Amino acid sequence: MTLQIAVAQLNFTVGDMTGNAQKIIDAAHTAYAQGARLLLTPELSVCAYIAEDLFLRPSFITACDDAVKTIARETAGLNGMAIVVGHPVGRDQRNKSINISQRINVASVIREGRVIENYAKRMLPNYQVFDERRYFAPGQGIGVFQVGDVSVGLLICEDAWFEEPAQLAKEAGAELLAVINASPFHVGKGYEREAMMIERVKATGLPLVYAHMVGGQDEVVFEGHSFAVGANAQLAGRAPSFVEQLYFVDVTRTANGLTLAAPTAPARDHDADLWDALVMGLRDYVDKNGFKSVALGLSGGIDSALVLAIAVDALGKDAVHAVMMPSPYTASISLQDAREMVRRLGVRYDEISILPAFEAFKISLQPLFGDKPEDTTEENIQARIRGVMLMALSNKHGHLVLTTGNKSEYAVGYCTLYGDMCGGYAPIKDVVKTAVFRMARWRNVHDPYGTGSNPIPERIITRPPSAELREDQTDQDSLPPYEVLDAIIERYMENDMGIAELVAEGFAQADVEQVTRLIKLNEYKRQQSAVGTRVTHRSFGKDWRYPITNKFRA
- Among residues 21, 49, 13, 544, the alpha carbon closest in space to that of 285 is found at 13
- In sequence order, the β-bridge partners of residue 105 are 88
CA–CA distance, 372 with 378 (Å, rounded to integer):
11
Tens digit of pLDDT at every position of the chain (554 positions): 789 999 999 999 999 999 999 999 999 999 999 999 999 999 999 999 989 999 999 999 999 999 999 999 999 999 999 999 999 999 766 666 666 667 999 999 999 999 999 999 999 999 889 989 899 999 999 999 999 999 999 999 999 999 999 999 999 999 999 999 999 999 999 999 999 999 999 999 999 999 999 999 999 999 999 999 999 999 999 999 999 999 999 999 999 999 999 999 999 999 999 999 999 999 999 999 999 999 999 999 999 999 999 999 999 999 999 999 998 888 889 999 999 999 999 999 999 999 999 999 999 999 999 999 999 999 999 999 999 999 999 999 999 999 999 999 999 999 999 999 999 999 999 999 999 999 999 999 999 999 999 999 999 999 887 665 656 656 666 899 999 999 999 999 999 999 999 999 999 999 999 999 999 999 999 999 999 999 999 999 999 999 999 998 87
CA–CA distance, 311 with 346 (Å, rounded to integer):
12
Within 10 angstroms of residue 547's Cβ, the number of other Cβ atoms is 9
Q: Which ranges constitute the DSSP H helices of 353-432?
A: 355-369, 376-397, 407-412
21 Rama sector, left if φ>0, alpha if ψ -120 to 50, beta otherwise = alpha
pTM over 0.75? The answer is yes
Catalytic positions are: 43, 121, 157
17-33 and 58-74 helices cross at what angle (nearest 10)? Answer: 20
Q: Are strands 144-147 and 150-156 parallel, antiparallel or unpaired?
A: antiparallel
